[in-house]
Structure 1
Amino acid sequence: MNSDVPIPEITTLLIVLLAVLLIIIIIKGLVIVPQRHAMVIERLGRYHRTLNAGLNLIIPILDQPRPITIVRYRDNQKTINTEKKIDLREVVLDFPKQEVITKDNVGVRIDGVLYYQIMDAQAAIYGAENLVLAVQTLAQTSLRSEIGRMELDQIFESRQEINARLQNTMDDAGNKWGVKVNRVEIRDIDIPDDIREAMNKQMAAERARRAEVREAEGYKQAEILKAEGDKEAAVQRAEGEKRAIQQILEAAAGTEGLEARDAMRYLIAQEYMETLPKVAQEGERVFIPLEATSLMGSVGGIRELLGPTTGAAAASSSSSSGAGSGGSGG
């Protein structure tokens, strides 16, 4: 009796085994990459290609994904993860605070945050052994270098400049790592208590100084406005007196036949004689200039032209002025 398996049955068994093996290879070779992710594939230890988002097919035994090491911080606790799929989204790296010495030898603790994005998955895998650790270390050393060249007051005033310089430094180094640093920001600066108290006193003194300056400027502006008002009032008053004198001269010249020049001399002489007694009361002696004597001498002639009423007033003014001046001249 022959116990051998028939050839057709062996062939069928081999076909089934090959089909099952093919199905297993296909299932193992199907790789689904999520959106905004990538995967670096190595074939026999060498870079082969980069898988993009979607359904991809690889050879399970020959092709292997190259993992990437990711460092994250949660509650200031560092965790290291190994992932096969590379995240191409923007990542926030919140590294712990670090001690930094400023140019004026003040020790501060700076808390920074870094926003970066992997642009080239192949460069991110082969450019650095630990990409995130390299980015973090570069950010910390660059920040320490920038702060070390500045004084404490400049740090608070130049945050945007510091962030811009840090971003430029990170971009230069990140190009070879396939990383784009979108922005670097200083989130918090801790200073010693004694320095903080001194800064608070300085700010209080500065606010007091600004208040005094504003008060002085307000007083100055008020005085300027007052002086301008007084000046305007004096100008208006002078204009009014000028118009009144012109009207008197015109009236005198029209009614009495008096020339304007003679009327002006009369008014000046009369004003002089009214003021002379007041001047005499303030001193022991009063010296009358020659021009004033001739001016008063013309009052008599002008008085005759103005009429009896005006002449009497002028004579009375002249006599009183003469008496005052004679008494003072003693």
Structure 2
Amino acid sequence: MSHSNWSGCCCLQCIPEKEVGIVEDLGACQFKRLIGEGPSCICWPLQSVAGRLSLRVQQLDVRCETKTKDNVFVQVAVAVQYRVVTESAYDAWYRLTSPASQIQAYVFDVVRSTIPRMELDQAFESKDDIAQAVLDQLQRVMKDYGYSIVNTLVTDMSPDLKVKQSMNEINAAKRLKEAASHQAESEKIKQVKAAEAEAEARYLSGLGVARQRKAIMQGLQQSVSEFSGEVDGATPKDVMDILLLSQYFDTLSSVGANSLILEHDPATVAQLHSQISAGFMSSIKEKLVKSVEEKSDLLA
């Protein structure tokens, strides 16, 4: 806005583009009329152009310090974009001396009455709400003075440096906690999967051993049956003795191949056979005793 008098020549006055001229009577210094952009004629020296108002959109940057609900002081930067309404240029020129000071005062009033009701995190999340509150207040007030508020923006909100550092440390600690939790969960999953794999391996190993033993028993049974059938006078006991002796010699071969020393006694096979027979007989005896006791209980 410019309030300087026009220094043109006599009756012909030229107003630059996007401006409006204020014409006054020279003697009474009273408002006469408005003249638009371009050349205009006035009744000089009875009239003169007292000043010009820019119709362009202007911006006023306002910084305001205030306190949040949780007692944190913040610097709030608000950008106000405004312009003169052409039809209300009279009010803009005569009713308001300093529009920038007026706008700044209302920005201070709105910011300092809005942010103290919010905590710091909420204030950062509500920047659009703060800007809208400033816009509504300024539009309602500045309209009477011939100014239109185009837009208001909260361009910055800066707490104290120590508060910033504390917020960064809190955020870093929170993320470290989440990372530790995810890492622990990952380790848990690894251990559970390893335990499941080990259990499955042992199960499959047990199945393999059981199948191996079953195959061995089936092979022994088949060998005993075939040998007894083809050799006259051979009993199953004779066949089992031969098989035990064969297994014993295979064991000695395996031990020798691994550079191990094992005491050998020819009576070992007979002792082994006696132990296996005694074990079978003991098991059969226990089963018979148990069966007799169960039948006695039923008869009683």
**Shorter-chain TM-score range:** 0.5 to 0.7
Superposition pairs for residues 181-220 of structure 1, below 5 Å?
A: 181-185=150-154, 187=156, 189=158, 191=160, 197=162, 200-201=165-166, 203-204=168-169, 207-220=172-185
Residues 47, 121 of structure 1: CA spacing in aligned structure 2 closer, same or farther, 3 A cutoff? farther
Q: How far off is 1:51 after superposition?
A: 0.5
Q: Distance in 2 between matches of 1:153 and 1:129?
A: 38
Q: Is the 8 A contact 2:68 2:74 kept in 1?
A: no
Superposition pairs for residues 104-183 of structure 1, below 5 Å?
A: 104=70, 106=71, 108=73, 110=75, 112-126=77-91, 128-130=95-97, 131-176=99-144, 177-183=146-152
Superposition pairs for residues 41-52 of structure 1, below 5 Å?
A: 41=23, 45=30, 48-52=33-37
Q: Is the 8 A contact 1:99 1:108 kept in 2?
A: yes
% of aligned pairs identical? 18
Q: How far off is 1:236 after superposition?
A: 4.6
Match of 1:38 in 2: 20
Q: Is the 8 A contact 1:92 1:113 kept in 2?
A: no
Decide which of 15, 33, 53 is 1:86's aligned counterpart. 53
Show CA shifts across 1:66-107 (max 9, x none): 6xxxxxxxxxxxxxxxxx222233323234x55534434x47
Partner AA of 2:40 in structure 1: N
Decide which of 216, 220, 227 is 2:192's aligned counterpart. 227
Q: Secondary structure at the match of 2:152?
A: strand
Aligned alpha-carbon RMSD (Å): 4.5
**Higher relative contact order, structure no. (Cα contacts within 8 Å, ≥ 6 residues apart):** 2
Q: Distance in 1 between matches of 2:78 and 2:186?
A: 49
Q: Distance in 2 between matches of 1:147 and 1:244?
A: 77
Q: Distance in 1 between matches of 2:276 and 2:152?
A: 93
Structure 2 portions without partners, runs of 5+? 1-7, 223-235, 248-268, 284-300
Structure 1 portions without partners, runs of 5+? 1-25, 67-83, 258-303, 324-330
Partner AA of 1:220 in structure 2: E
Q: How far off is 1:218 after superposition?
A: 0.7
Residues 117, 98 of structure 1: CA spacing in aligned structure 2 closer, same or farther, 3 A cutoff? closer
Superposition pairs for residues 95-106 of structure 1, below 5 Å?
A: 95=62, 98=64, 100-104=66-70, 106=71
Q: How far off is 1:229 after superposition?
A: 3.1
Q: Distance in 1 between matches of 2:149 and 2:15?
A: 22
Residues 50, 256 of structure 1: CA spacing in aligned structure 2 closer, same or farther, 3 A cutoff? farther
Q: How far off is 1:157 after superposition?
A: 5.0
Q: Is the 8 A contact 1:38 1:51 kept in 2?
A: yes
Q: Does 1:28 align with 2:13?
A: no
Partner AA of 2:147 in structure 1: G
Q: Give TM-score scaled by structure 2 length.
A: 0.55
Q: How far off is 1:222 after superposition?
A: 1.5
Residues 250, 93 of structure 1: CA spacing in aligned structure 2 closer, same or farther, 3 A cutoff? same
Partner AA of 2:187 in structure 1: A
Residue-pair matches, total: 229
Deviating above 6 A after TM superposition, structure 1's stretches of 4 or more consecutive aligned residues are: 310-315, 320-323
Q: Is the 8 A contact 1:138 1:170 kept in 2?
A: yes
Q: Distance in 2 between matches of 1:133 and 1:198?
A: 31
